[in-house]
Structure 1
């Protein structure tokens, strides 16, 4: 009988082997610094809020798998990332072994309330790995990342016991979100029976096209962001550090974003003096980020902010995923929605959806059609 693979915490001495592992799995196009930038990798390995585990061959000690759960100070939300198994070890169960070990040491140990993962959809394998380890699908993120080509990702999450039962109620949502909510009810067993569906609020009043300046000075942007949001308050996008700042000529508002040019995606992190100001300028903001290389832009919005969700819908953002009980506030948890917009053609022909994910794909297609296809009128 072959000995079981050893699961160990990664060390700085593993960085060179880890980079080789990610290259063997993803080639030269892996879009995150976790598997490519030695300085970032060293910082994450030493970060007390990140748990990075690796597996080794019992006979040779060679690195065979890697995965991490990344958190941050003041938050009980984690992100599963960097799950990679050497091509020679596929089918060996290492992905499940690593995922289970990470969840036991974070969720089951009470360190985190939930852990989410964005999973590739080029095959059903990654979806099944996380599903076998207690993760539930939450939605589809079309065109979310550029690897060898544009890929759509699936959002999955796993919770600590009792978290979903402590969700704050939501009185009403814009009607286009209803298919997503109904799908989440079936997937997670949560209920939105008391949530009313109402018409979206009118689009924000037309404003003069903002001439936006993009400031790409990551250290400056981080400092200014911390000055504006010293306690990583209600509008902070967890686990995303802004690296670009968008401001109009008159300095009337500031939009902080996390732009990944290698992967061609961007997350809107925060707006100052408030998110409503940024919501009124989503069109020029999206155009500026598209020119900077983002083929996919997303915003994470509270489900109970009908006004912000309506503004996103009015400017072409689609409800792509739902994250119930994402943020802890006091003794309860608040639900959030991922609103996304892609400027590139969506092609789902290469997407492989497991049975549990398929209803979320159907929900997205329905929402996209209702946003971008005109109502058909029949002339007699």
Structure 2
């Protein structure tokens, strides 16, 4: 199949909307495939790379792929990869992925591009792996597409980035299975990370919302952004690439302010930042989960440095499960720092329908080990 791959143009919007409908129906949770205003903004955004593939001769639109970038964090995200159902046998998905990632990396401003991949079939996993992406973990129950789906997390790195990793000597022991899976699947060395068992003293002292307290939700996006920037003027304290808070959750006593990117369409919520410190919210995990569930999100994730043992331990003690590790995610000076994705879902997790390729298999075992240690009681037997 001969195609012409070129940047998307404003006149392509109507055809692109039809393409995403043909591929996903009404279930596509990303507005770049359905909202003309969002599509127009992204096509004209200099920080977004959007490529289309058209059949040679007829000009029929056969595929689309996008990499959105966050220039301040040197990171991008592969989104919107779609190939028309009648054009899927010619390797077009792989060609589009390679082309759009190549365009994103060309100017040297990115250290990595990540992708969250559906796991209903192994095909999308093979597409990204063949294009240099490495598997980083799982996001169980992370998206509402055709029902509640788990996603695989993959990333592709620019040359010379991984050797700049800042090593970490200790991490909570609960991360052991995840780090072992990452070393097996990516080749990134984690064997020298020693366990640090601090879970017993991880919960912070100070004001705490009662476990049954309702959280107030402020969902005025303009106010939330202004308040967020006032409380976190230093970019180092609000690091969450490609996510901006659109709501803030507050307990009645004002003990903390939890800034979230809440997406009811996808059924997910990213916990972007917490004032006055990340672990302050761990006292109120149950009301937080109840609040975002009422708002339409059954999945909550947060992102913490692998080196921040205290915050990691607090979230682990409060029921979050380590699901992915992103090596060299953040550059500070000349060194790159690893981050851990912690997640919790209020729905029952069902892995029976997953099509898990070989590179992701170790992460399934690691997640099940961590989930079991978190949520199943350890019975003591007296002899």
After TM superposition, the score normalised by the length of structure 2 is 0.95
Q: Distance in 2 between matches of 1:144 and 1:169?
A: 29
Q: What does the per-residue CA deviation read over 1:305-358, in whole Å, with 9 as the maximum and x for residues that have no partner?
A: 111111111111100000010011110011000000001001111100001111
Of the structure 1 ranges 147-156 and 211-220, higher mean CA displacement relative to structure 2 is found in: 211-220
- Out of 335, 343, 347, the residue aligned to residue 344 of structure 1 is 347
Q: Distance in 2 between matches of 1:231 and 1:65?
A: 40
**Shift of residue 379, structure 1, vs aligned partner:** 5.0
Whether contact under 8 Å (2:215, 2:288) holds in the other structure is yes
Number of aligned residue pairs: give it.
378
**Shift of residue 109, structure 1, vs aligned partner:** 4.2
Whether contact under 8 Å (1:235, 1:269) holds in the other structure is yes
Q: What does the per-residue CA deviation read over 1:34-77, in whole Å, with 9 as the maximum and x for residues that have no partner?
A: 11111111111111111011101112112110111101231210
Q: Structure 2: which 5+ runs fail to align?
A: none
Q: Distance in 1 between matches of 2:280 and 2:318?
A: 14
Q: Structure 1: which 5+ runs fail to align?
A: none
Of the structure 1 ranges 284-293 and 159-168, higher mean CA displacement relative to structure 2 is found in: 284-293
Partner of 1:60: 58
Whether contact under 8 Å (1:280, 1:311) holds in the other structure is no
* SS of residue paired to 2:265: coil
* SS of residue paired to 1:126: helix
For the pair 1:251 / 2:254, whether they are aligned, the reply is: yes
- Out of 17, 21, 40, the residue aligned to residue 19 of structure 1 is 17
* SS of residue paired to 1:21: helix
For the pair 1:233 / 2:236, whether they are aligned, the reply is: yes
Partner of 1:353: 356
**Shift of residue 79, structure 1, vs aligned partner:** 0.3
For the pair 1:222 / 2:225, whether they are aligned, the reply is: yes
**Shift of residue 234, structure 1, vs aligned partner:** 3.4
Whether contact under 8 Å (2:153, 2:324) holds in the other structure is yes
Partner of 1:80: 78
Q: What does the per-residue CA deviation read over 1:126-148, in whole Å, with 9 as the maximum and x for residues that have no partner?
A: 00000000001000111111112
For the pair 1:107 / 2:105, whether they are aligned, the reply is: yes
Whether contact under 8 Å (2:209, 2:283) holds in the other structure is no
For the pair 1:274 / 2:269, whether they are aligned, the reply is: no
CA RMSD of aligned residues (A): 1.6
**Shift of residue 247, structure 1, vs aligned partner:** 1.6
**1:1-380 counterparts in 2 under 5 A?**
4-201=2-199, 202-204=201-203, 207-209=208-210, 210-378=213-381, 380=383
Of the structure 1 ranges 242-251 and 44-53, higher mean CA displacement relative to structure 2 is found in: 242-251
Q: Distance in 1 between matches of 2:254 and 2:305?
A: 26
Q: Distance in 1 between matches of 2:178 and 2:249?
A: 31
Q: Distance in 2 between matches of 1:64 and 1:121?
A: 22
* SS of residue paired to 1:350: coil
**Shift of residue 281, structure 1, vs aligned partner:** 3.1
After TM superposition, the score normalised by the length of structure 1 is 0.95
Q: Distance in 1 between matches of 2:234 and 2:47?
A: 17
Whether contact under 8 Å (2:220, 2:246) holds in the other structure is yes
